[in-house]
Amino acid sequence: MPRAGGSRCPTLGYVTERYPDQWEADVVLSDGGTAHLRPIRADDAELLRDFYARLSPESIYYRFFSPRPHLSDRDVAHFTGVDHDRRVALIATIGEEMVAVVRYDRVGDQPGAVDGDRPETAEVAFLVEDAHQGRGLGPVLLEHIAAAARERGVRRFVASVLPDNRRMTRVFREAGYRAEQRFEEGVIELVLDLEPTDTSLEVMTAREHRAESRSIQRLLFPGSVAVIGASRAEHSVGQTVLRNLLAGDFSGPVYPVHPTAVAVAGVRAYPSVLEIPDDVDLAVVAVRADAVHEVVEECASKGVRGLIVVSSGFGEIGDDGRGRQEELVRLARAYGMRVVGPNCLGIANTDADVRLNATLAPTMPGRGPVGFFSQSGALGIAILQRTAERGLGLSTFVSAGNRADVSGNDLMQYWEEDPATKAVLLYLESLGNPRKFARLARRLGRRKPIVAVKSGRSTQGVPIGHAARALTLPDHAVSALFEQAGVIRVEDLSELFDVAQVLAYQPLPAGDRIAIIDNSNSLGLLAQDEAVALGLDVRPRIDLGPRAGADDYEAALASALADETVDAVVALFTPPTIGGYDVRVPEKIMRLAARAEKPIVATYLGKEGMPADLRVTGPDGMPAEGSVPSYPSPEDAVRALAYVIRYAQWRQRPAGRTPELDGVDRDRARALVAAWLPPADVAGAEGGPVEVSSEQAVELLACYGIDVAVGAGGGGVPTRIVIREDHSFGAVVSFGIADETAALLDDRAYRLSPLADVDAAEMIRAIRTAPLLLGHRGAEPVNLAALEDLLLRASRLGYDLPEVARLELSPVMADASGVTVRDVTLSLARPLGPRPELGPRRLS
């Protein structure tokens, strides 16, 4: 294979170059299916001939501007003989068939030309099989061929398109690149500048969102389900899933697959998925791990759209299982299928038109506004049981198990547009693509709250079944990055449900001012102490006394809801030790809550026969809008409310912008880094970091408008800025005071690069020692604007240059007049590839 080394093309007479690993990718198409992209190879001749034979005369004419019913041997040799530099071709395959090809050829290029003579312009052309046109292959191929071209020094594409070929013209025009167009001799000629623009990145992100969302929708809304491995043995995995599908009254047909049984659980069975007479949209696979491969091949032949693999024996058991798991995903994606699992609990959709319970869970919560993603299969049953016990309704539920393919990122793409989902809950044991998670969460969080339990705090867990490395950032740094993205990170499952109950059924608060209404001084003080400890502003605390009844609570609650200085209410009620007991108290609270525009939480210590929760129920008996979450203790109620208040404040803050910085010369910076980095075989077997000289570091910083006065004196507060390239999160910025105490306490603020203006401002104020910068004990505050500007410039440098393994500015002396960088250290390393968010779409 060319990737492994160079080889000579016998027809064209030049030596082919190896191609980078990232030129191969699995991609999601606009209809939710998948395809595999890779460079064309010399042994693809027959694949190309078969592809060409399926093309319509119109598609051929649009590509070659003339009839060409057959490809000659020389044509085939020409199209498959590329050098992955001056001539590059990428193909898309689904199963064993080529379905599309894109290629570029440098304009005016000559074999044997040296690197400096290589043209920066190339002609580009597409050809997509008729049956697969309209599935988004053209746009995704353009993204990948453009990325390959940029890596090889091509800066512009020229495309010649017939005026009638509107679909291809639209592919180029809608890509978001800077483009010029002219019309000559009956042909439209388009010139594309391949430098990514804000528009091209937005277009790519929007297409990624729609495609991945659609791929999840296909899983959650199947028209039919096959259970492969539906055993007749009671309590077996296959029969359990089958019985849950039937008990849940799935809206479509269910097909048990068993090699010998005529029927399973009273439903006609088939010996193979291939023998099912009708279409199968979703297959639940519950066979031995070593039999899964054959089942996936049969599902591919049947045209199944998605797989739920509940079978174990994959990545969770070690290297042998990991290889089996990788092959499972490779095969499924190659044939257009997404995979949930393996080693998972399954998926559920409570939509009345679907009623899908393809899980191993005996208890399924009712319909509600919460989407739930759980990485754990074993814990999933307990999670669903607790969800039902809390009366929390779900829209959809996905347990991903080993998360070999479908992940929480995919579900966030789907839930962003799902009108049935109001809030998102995540139980995460690891983060497969943390940077993408942060990007998606930040966008989704502006519309819908995300609550996450991230376990593995002590180990920063490696994804189950993956060969990925553990997260290298400390846990509090991960929490800071979650906070930057607007994610509500809670400590445990109990807090997860506590917070979810507020978000699902109560409005968001406008601020942090809370009123506490109680009939017990002890309860009220507990709530007040917790609120103050969490930084909330307790306005009126209304102690109604032990004899307070329903009318007293109604009046006090109505007054608090009408008070413009109150943003949320905590209602506490306990039965009196003597005297009468007014059973109407919860009814009054619920009635006011149903009309309130402020959130209300409660601690209701009822006696036997009294409701322990304050729920407004819908026609299906599930809690509805206006239900008041009730907690066993005042502290729990206040804590849940505090999480929601902090989220509401994040959502109210401006999203900020990444400002354009003057005095930045990115081209020179990139040239310097390229010149200083030694070849890969010199930098070490793993391309380890190489520390550059102080003079070189100063020169690079100057490209971003950062002046360094090495060894200069001067007073002020010593601060420290570090940019590091994390293999999971990308460029991460940390900021803190540069002294031993701050280092001992690890008093650092963390954010992802590039920083928005609001991020820089928040970082400075986020550290515990921030008062030293803000004018502690009468001292003059430092120049915060200058410090923020330095953070923005340093973060932009780290983002633009993934070769920067570590950049430390310390000490940076800050005073009222400005900032002075007194020392700098810089290490460079070869990146694994371009930043994912700047590169073409791909499944990780």
For residue 734, report the phi and psi dihedrals to the nearest 5 degrees.
-125, 150
Q: What is the pLDDT of residues 604-652, one digit of tens each?
A: 886 543 444 555 555 666 666 668 999 999 999 999 999 999 999 999 9
Mean pLDDT for the chain overall:
90
Statement: residue 413 has pLDDT above 70: yes
Statement: residue 307 has pLDDT above 80: yes
What's the chain's length in residues?
A: 844
Q: What is the mean pLDDT of residues 29-37?
A: 98
Given pLDDT bands bounded at 50, 70 and 90, which one contains residue 397? very high
Q: Cα(750)–Cα(78) distance, rounded to whole angstroms?
A: 52
Q: What is the pLDDT of residues 517-572, one digit of tens each?
A: 999 999 999 999 999 999 999 998 999 998 898 999 999 999 999 999 999 999 99
SS3 content of the chain, % helix, strand, coil (to 5): 35, 25, 40
Respond yes or no on whether the N-terminal peptide bond of residue 754 is cis (omega within 30° of 0): yes
Residue 65 near residue 185 (C-beta atoms within 8 A): no
DSSP state of 387: H
Q: Cα(122)–Cα(101) distance, rounded to whole angstroms?
A: 16
Q: What is the pLDDT of residues 341-386, one digit of tens each?
A: 999 999 999 999 999 999 999 888 999 999 999 988 778 888 899 9
pLDDT at 8: 41
Q: What is the pLDDT of residues 217-257, one digit of tens each?
A: 999 999 999 999 999 988 899 999 999 999 999 999 999 99
Dmax of the chain from CA atoms? Answer: 102
Q: Cα(477)–Cα(749) distance, rounded to whole angstroms?
A: 7
Tokens 């791909």 found at: 842
Q: Cα(287)–Cα(260) distance, rounded to whole angstroms?
A: 14
Statement: residue 168 has pLDDT above 60: yes
- Residues 6 or more apart whose CB falls under 8 angstroms from that of 772 comprise 717, 737, 779
Q: Say how far residue 513 (Cα) sits from the centre of its chain.
A: 33
- pTM listed for this prediction: 0.91
Q: For residue 660, give both structure tokens.
A: 């354009």
Residue 798 near residue 804 (C-beta atoms within 8 A): yes
Q: What is the mean pLDDT of residues 160-167?
A: 94
DSSP state of 294: H
Q: For residue 289, give both structure tokens.
A: 């791990």
Q: Cα(342)–Cα(310) distance, rounded to whole angstroms?
A: 6
Q: What is the pLDDT of residues 654-702, one digit of tens each?
A: 989 999 999 999 999 999 999 998 765 554 445 578 999 999 999 999 9
- The rounded percent of the chain whose pLDDT value lies above 70 is 90
Query: What are the beta bridge partners of residue 356?
Result: 349
Question: Which candidate, 668, 807, 677, 669, places its Cα nearest to that of 735?
Answer: 807
pLDDT at 612: 45
Helix (H, G, I), strand (E, B) or coil at 637: helix
Q: How far is CA 534 from CA 513, 538, 570, 644, 674, in A?
A: 12, 11, 14, 12, 49
Residue, of 830 and 511, whose pLDDT is higher: 511
Statement: residue 786 has pLDDT above 80: yes
Q: For residue 530, give both structure tokens.
A: 């917790």
